[in-house]
Structure 1
């Protein structure tokens, strides 16, 4: 059994990392052709409708996580009848969700023009929206089957399947963009291959788990259903704020600034989201056993584990920020041209927002490990309220545009939610004073600011151009950053832990 877990762990982590980088390359290639052929206005529509559909996905929040969690025990016990009963329940749940998203999505059509004045000038925008909606709705009728593979430690099969169909669809999309320049064909290809990819996963699950097709399945007990409902509510309440905060950004920008601004902004968010996801891959790879460890660890050991995870997370934040500060705008210029860059203040706010969200990665892991979803159920409501109120004030009264939306997100994340999450962890999980966390964060932020200033100043002595310039800027940022980092942390317990961790990884 141990060998099997190790095998699946290696397969999942290695394949997900490879697929991540391949998808990253594909994203940039497709986005480049999209901008050159269709322009920034259609990029804005793409970003806006993606955000609208992400808000509609609120109906699903909590269900997917609860599916995977509920299946661990019956899979371990090879209880096929309970697995089948859970799959029947989740099939019904996802079908209801799919119909609900379709109905709500269709009901929004008469109000689409309120999201942006520019939409009305784009002929066929309702048709584009329907294609987006169809792509989203169809996925709900197959997602529950993916959950069985994920719960069974076979998520690498899902990753491979999705990548193959994404690659083929991207090739078709680029071909159709170059020969026909049609946004409709671009979206149709996306919808068709989403459907084919889901059919493929469904076929794989039906083939490997034939017991799912038994005529009858046992009924789940009341206690089990009650447990699932509580998990769904807990997960939903903890995630709803994040979806609203991130999902409304493009809607607010399109409403108050315009579709073109959404297009410019979406180029930056694509880069930022990939940086954040890459850092999550690194930090998540060392947190798989935290939940089990905390159950048996004493208070001192749990706090030490938290500090170590925070330090590893900060290391990712530190170097990612130094690189982004150095090359984000120059990269946009090299990639798609100078007319697509945003002002320095806006880029600074984008990076600050990234830093705040990445600091929260440690909070997410320990909230999950301690099972604090129910305790923090009202957090997301307050988070979403602060974000929307501040953003609307800065947009409507002060006319700050994209900066207003970013400041609203930073106000809710750094002004409230980052600290309340830490408070719950330290009070109910670690049972320590929050001042330990506050002092650590202040130290980390001060060092980051000093390092940014030194890197930024040092680069004023050099002339950088083109792709070679991007590489040189990145190397300078990393070398100076590494020097300051080692001087500051070389004697700390957390640094020694990271050093030993890297040595073990390299030996493997």
Structure 2
């Protein structure tokens, strides 16, 4: 096995293990947080996280631009160029960290308008400042993480984060259960960030002894801005999609409602992260196909195969999520935290669209169509924030999520159009066939959910935990079976099955 494959295996395996451990601790600490500290402070913590995510837009996209600029000098082992780039990154992140702290202080008088239904005391201000300083430390200390990532050694930072995360979470659990002290919990969170970043910083100093502080290469800094401009639109769209819902809910409905919703979005977000970790290695494979296929047939074949694969994964995750999420919430944090069915349906729609439409995202990234995707991102961001605010005022919590789903649909339409027109060079007939297949898959998903929900309600099992497990197995069996029925005779499914059989045979 060559070096690149070994590094790929290390990065994928450590990333997956790290994410699973994070997921386990997140569920554990979240349930203990609600029990020993309270849902109100969970809402406050989540709202502050969203506020600080707004300030993180000051990063503009420099990290992505820096990572791309490091690939060539790392391949050539150009130590001087690597050192210049890292020094520029350090300078930029020092400026952003300083801005982050000043902006956090400037936001203090406005917290009482962001937190509704919560009495804003001096303690609340202190909680916000500690969270803000924790975020600022990421900029002051973590710029060398990008060097590890670009050099295919991200597994090192993942291992360090995993070790520190385990120790910190154990201490945070003690702080919640035995001391019931939210301030101590936040301080431990801050120490977790500082310790892990200092450790990564020290490891980088050993791996790259040629890195020295020096003068800032402003010519290099200016050249990076050309990439940053296109990347920034994507950062805004990603922020609006992932962070503004909590702010809108807190400002227009109730901060406590944020805490209720976070119980659900924690699960959906972790599912997205797990699947992303599983499928991320496919993107460079797509890039290779796009670079070598002059006829276009392999491009279209790869797209169809990957799209079918994502539909199958989506059904296997979304069906049990929809049917069992309320049962899981009841067992995890209590039945009193269950949200209405309309909210669950919208979360399911968002989750399904994310999984299925991301085939277009991966092809856009592999083809480098960032500028062409920029308008989609800007329009989707405006749609999301506008419709979410209107929905919050007229419908409530479900209205906020409806705005998110509509913006996701725009992403899907816009990005699929970019891929079919500019990447696959396909005609309108192929594009219409793509959407016809997606409509059929939507019907298959709906039938699966309705049938599995019926089976779940009729299962004669008294023990809630055993019923949950049996229902989960049934959901998986039904979703795979109906996927097979609706895709019977599909050539992409045959290719996928052939690949899996050959792969398992080799193993």
TM over 0.5, yes or no?
A: yes
Cα RMSD (Å) = 1.9
Give 2:42's aligned residue. Answer: 43
* Structure-2 change in CA distance of 1:496 and 1:284 (3 Å): farther
**Equivalence map 1:266-415=2 (5 Å):** 266-297=262-293, 298-396=295-393, 398=394, 400-414=395-409
The answer to whether the aligner puts 1:89 opposite 2:84 as a matched pair is no
Conservation of the 8 A alpha-carbon contact between 1:119 and 1:125: no
Secondary structure of the corresponding residue to residue 376 of structure 1? helix
Conservation of the 8 A alpha-carbon contact between 1:11 and 1:156: yes
Conservation of the 8 A alpha-carbon contact between 1:238 and 1:379: no
Deviation at 1:121, TM superposition (A): 4.9
Match of 1:482 among 480, 483, 486: 480
Deviation at 1:353, TM superposition (A): 1.3
The answer to whether the aligner puts 1:468 opposite 2:463 as a matched pair is no
Conservation of the 8 A alpha-carbon contact between 2:441 and 2:486: no
Match of 2:231 among 232, 235, 238: 235
TM-score w.r.t. the length of structure 2 is 0.94
Give 1:254's aligned residue. Answer: 250
* Structure-2 change in CA distance of 1:443 and 1:38 (3 Å): same
Tell me the distance in 2 between the aligned counterparts of 1:438 and 1:116.
42
Deviation at 1:61, TM superposition (A): 4.0
Tell me the distance in 1 between the aligned counterparts of 2:503 and 2:111.
50
CA deviation profile, 1:384-419 (whole Å, cap 9, x unmatched): 2211221222222x2x221011011112221x2221
Secondary structure of the corresponding residue to residue 253 of structure 1? helix
Tell me the distance in 2 between the aligned counterparts of 1:283 and 1:490.
24
Match of 1:502 among 490, 500, 503: 500
Deviation at 1:76, TM superposition (A): 0.9
Q: How many corresponding residue pairs?
A: 501
CA deviation profile, 1:128-186 (whole Å, cap 9, x unmatched): 10011000001101222001111111111111111111111111111111222111110
Tell me the distance in 1 between the aligned counterparts of 2:331 and 2:217.
59
Secondary structure of the corresponding residue to residue 119 of structure 1? coil
Give 1:423's aligned residue. Answer: 417
Deviates more, 1:147-156 or 1:352-361: 352-361
Deviation at 1:280, TM superposition (A): 1.6
Tell me the distance in 1 between the aligned counterparts of 2:383 and 2:480.
37
Deviation at 1:504, TM superposition (A): 5.0
Tell me the distance in 2 between the aligned counterparts of 1:249 and 1:217.
42
Deviation at 1:192, TM superposition (A): 1.1
Deviation at 1:226, TM superposition (A): 5.6
CA deviation profile, 1:461-492 (whole Å, cap 9, x unmatched): 22454211110110111112222222333532
Deviates more, 1:495-504 or 1:479-488: 495-504
Secondary structure of the corresponding residue to residue 282 of structure 2? coil
**Equivalence map 1:140-219=2 (5 Å):** 140-213=139-212, 219=217
Conservation of the 8 A alpha-carbon contact between 1:72 and 1:151: yes
Give 1:54's aligned residue. Answer: 53
Tell me the distance in 2 between the aligned counterparts of 1:219 and 1:122.
46
Secondary structure of the corresponding residue to residue 119 of structure 2? helix
Deviates more, 1:322-331 or 1:236-245: 236-245
Tell me the distance in 1 between the aligned counterparts of 2:280 and 2:437.
21
Conservation of the 8 A alpha-carbon contact between 2:314 and 2:356: yes
Tell me the distance in 1 between the aligned counterparts of 2:485 and 2:399.
38
Give 1:66's aligned residue. Answer: 65
Match of 1:439 among 436, 440, 443: 436
Conservation of the 8 A alpha-carbon contact between 2:42 and 2:259: yes
Runs of 5+ in structure 2 lacking a partner?
none
Deviates more, 1:285-294 or 1:81-90: 285-294
The answer to whether the aligner puts 1:99 opposite 2:98 as a matched pair is yes
Deviating beyond 6 angstroms after TM superposition, the runs of 4 or more aligned structure 1 residues are none
Conservation of the 8 A alpha-carbon contact between 2:67 and 2:147: yes
